[in-house]
């Protein structure tokens, strides 16, 4: 197999030489029939060889039960990581009301997403420094530690820090799981396996809201975090027992790989986004009575200036200094990657703004329980899973992506318009099903944009291209929660002041200010107010939330217009670099290029091969007659899995 180690290969060669020498000697009655066997007992060399082969199995050589144990371990962690991305959406009123910090509740979402965005790219290289098991278990441990700290937190600041620690591992879980799956399966089989993995991902994101609300109503919000710990233990146990395979030796040393990690870029991006979030929080979420243009307060202007300086530092570092920048400069010079990046940012902004504030609408305007508010996110989860599978199936069948995007890319805009028109007296169809086009459309868009990006870059830059798109998407997720929270708090504050402030009485004004502060700091307080005040508070929340949804609607519409610049490309046609490689291989082998080799890029084994056992990554497609296959479809390939040291897909970010 392709993954035999050098020492094992040397041992096999020595054994073969001894066997040949023995075969050439005359055979007598005293000559053993089996070389290396003495009185029914194996020699030391044979034992060492057998142990070496067992201990150094490659990922395609392990037993099926071992492979399934690995998948169960990494998918359990994937489910938990996805769960924690949306879990707090229905916990925000309960948590913020207990700590009286409702105006700071957005940090619970942005802290997790910020850590995921800035530290996820590091795990692609750490997989080759620490090994697959080391990198995966490090990510799981960070996620478990952060989740446990969330459940034990006694104040809002500790809880925010705990969420950040959880995010350090949450993003790494996705990356390491993708790389491990790429090790275990051939390209043809990998699409199905990644499809199953996406089910766990979608299930976690979909159940986060409903499950969090259900547990919060019955056991308290802390148990929504603490009950995850057994699954983290199961994940670590399964990977500890099963994840021991070895990967091919890398041409780069450990120190060389460590030097290629973009530490400066990660820290500059983290500082820039974090400073901007502090600006938004201090300016709009603090509850102070400053006008929108008065930003001369040091606590407001300083974070904004620092954010700008660090962002410029990040750009300069990525363009001119970093050895392997996570924001690949050569992709910034191409139209398609930049357009895809902008689209990913806007789509993620819309998706997370709605996801985090949709349950709040039901809890503060409709006065429902957290359980029922979370259930309203479930249709979005189902539609996302269906949309993702549908997009992959259509691209697999047609080899096209543009028409798919043109039709279904409008669905999120339609959904946000419907959500903006929701009223307390709206019927159940509006309340439950308005969000469905959002999940379906965004799933189709994200799938088609990934395929469009990979179809327009060289094959050996797939990991770099995937990371490029994920970076824009991650920043969009942080902005979706942070910016939406600032908009929500600003309009909520204005509406409450207009409805409760009495300019004719100083005493009444003081009471109103106190009441407004209490409403802003505790979303659950709305249900306990007298009916006349409750109606005004509900109306204020309704207008503020509708503004958030309107901004999300504008974001997804702008994303649709930007995507019009992306041309169609037949997914059956190989990239120029790949076609040149096929032509060169044909010339060297002396074979005439066939029609199929010049018109399609074949991925996977021939129909007669066993998909789960073949090693088609190492076989030149020009040497075998194979049927045509769709390129880059989610049903046939999930290449570009963030393994930046992979010679086949992990090309340099600086060209």
- Could you report the per-residue pLDDT of 236-287, keeping only the tens digit for each? 999 999 988 887 655 567 777 777 788 899 899 999 999 998 888 887 776 5
Closest of 348, 337, 343 to residue 561, by C-alpha = 343
Q: Which residues contact 54 (CB under 8 A, 6 or more apart)?
A: none
Q: What is the Cα Rg of the chain in Å?
A: 28
Closest of 355, 402, 79, 6 to residue 232, by C-alpha = 79
- Give me the residue spans of the domains in the chain: 6-55, 64-245, 263-322, 334-569
Strands 37-38 and 41-42: antiparallel
Taking the C-alpha atoms of residue 120 and residue 9, their distance in angstroms, rounded to an integer, is 36
| CA 533-537-541 angle, 5° bins | 170
- Could you report the per-residue pLDDT of 6-61, keeping only the tens digit for each? 444 444 444 444 444 444 444 444 444 444 444 444 455 544 544 544 456 777 78
pTM over 0.85: no
For the domain made up of 64-245, the CATH class stated in words is mainly alpha
Taking the C-alpha atoms of residue 597 and residue 593, their distance in angstroms, rounded to an integer, is 6
- Could you report the per-residue pLDDT of 309-319, keeping only the tens digit for each? 999 999 999 99
- In the structure encoding, which two tokens stand for residue 156, read together? 């809002």
- Could you report the per-residue pLDDT of 572-629, keeping only the tens digit for each? 765 544 444 434 444 444 443 333 333 333 333 333 333 344 444 444 343 344 444 4
Q: Tell me whether domains 64-245 and 334-569 share a fold.
A: yes
Superfamily of domain 334-569: MFS general substrate transporter like domains (1.20.1250.20)
């Amino acid at each position: 197999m392709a993954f035999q180690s050098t020492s094992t290969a040397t041992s096999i060669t020595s054994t073969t030489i001894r066997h040949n020498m023995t075969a050439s000697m005359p055979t007598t009655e005293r000559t053993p029939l089996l070389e290396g066997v003495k009185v029914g007992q194996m020699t030391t060399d044979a034992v060492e060889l057998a142990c070496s082969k067992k201990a150094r199995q490659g990922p395609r050589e392990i037993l099926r039960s071992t492979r399934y144990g690995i998948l169960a371990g990494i998918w359990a962690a994937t489910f938990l990581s996805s769960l924690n991305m949306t879990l707090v959406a229905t916990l925000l009123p309960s948590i913020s009301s207990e700590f009286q910090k409702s105006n700071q509740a957005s940090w619970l979402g942005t802290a997790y997403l910020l850590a995921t965005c800035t530290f996820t790219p590091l795990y692609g290289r750490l997989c080759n420094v620490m090994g697959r098991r080391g990198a995966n278990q490090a990510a799981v441990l960070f996620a478990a530690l952060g989740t446990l700290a969330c459940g034990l937190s006694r104040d809002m600041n500790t809880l925010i820090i705990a969420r950040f620690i959880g995010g350090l591992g949450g993003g790494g879980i996705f990356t390491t799981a993708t790389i491990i799956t790429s090790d275990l399966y051939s390209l043809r089989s990998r699409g199905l396996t990644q499809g199953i993995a996406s089910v766990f991902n979608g299930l976690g994101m979909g159940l986060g809201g409903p499950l969090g609300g259900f547990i919060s109503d019955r056991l308290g919000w802390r148990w929504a975090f603490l009950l995850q710990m057994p699954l983290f233990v199961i994940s670590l146990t399964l990977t500890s027992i099963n994840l021991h395979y070895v990967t091919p030796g890398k041409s780069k040393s450990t120190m060389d790989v460590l030097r290629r990690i973009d530490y400066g870029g990660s820290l500059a991006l983290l500082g820039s986004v974090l400073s901007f979030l502090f600006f938004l929080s201090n300016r709009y979420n603090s509850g102070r009575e400053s006008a929108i243009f008065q930003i001369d307060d040091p606590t407001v202007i300083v974070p904004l200036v620092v954010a700008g300086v660090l962002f410029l530092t990040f750009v300069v570092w990525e363009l001119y200094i970093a050895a392997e920048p996570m924001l690949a400069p050569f992709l910034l010079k191409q139209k398609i990657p930049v357009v895809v990046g902008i689209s990913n940012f806007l789509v993620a902004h819309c998706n997370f703004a709605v996801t985090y504030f949709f349950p709040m609408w039901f809890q503060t305007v409709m006065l429902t329980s957290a359980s029922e508010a979370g259930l309203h996110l479930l249709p979005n989860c189902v539609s996302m899973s269906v949309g993702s599978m549908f997009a992959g199936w259509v691209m697999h069948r047609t080899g096209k992506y543009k028409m798919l995007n043109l039709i279904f890319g409008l669905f999120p805009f339609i959904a946000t318009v419907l959500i903006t028109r929701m009223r307390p007296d709206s019927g159940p169809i509006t309340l439950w099903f308005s969000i469905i086009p959002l999940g379906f459309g965004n799933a189709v868009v994200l799938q088609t944009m990934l395929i469009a990006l990979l179809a327009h870059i060289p094959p050996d830059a797939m990991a770099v291209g995937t990371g490029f798109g994920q970076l824009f998407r991650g920043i969009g997720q942080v902005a979706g929660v942070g910016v939406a929270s600032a908009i929500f708090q600003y309009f909520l504050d204005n509406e409450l002041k207009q409805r409760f402030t009495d300019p004719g009485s100083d005493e009444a004004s003081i009471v109103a200010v106190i009441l407004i502060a209490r409403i802003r700091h505790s979303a659950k307080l709305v249900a306990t107010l007298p009916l006349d005040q409750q109606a005004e508070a509900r109306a204020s929340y309704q207008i503020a939330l509708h503004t958030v949804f309107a901004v999300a609607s504008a974001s997804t519409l702008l994303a649709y217009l930007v995507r019009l610049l992306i041309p169609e490309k037949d997914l059956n046609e190989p990239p120029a670099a790949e076609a040149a490689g096929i032509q060169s291989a044909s010339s060297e082998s002396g074979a005439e290029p066939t029609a199929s080799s010049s018109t399609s890029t074949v991925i996977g084994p021939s129909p007669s091969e066993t998909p789960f056992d073949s090693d088609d990554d190492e076989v030149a497609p020009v040497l075998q007659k194979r049927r045509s296959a769709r390129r880059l479809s989610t049903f046939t390939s999930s290449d570009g899995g963030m393994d930046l040291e992979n010679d086949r897909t992990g090309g340099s970010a600086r060209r």
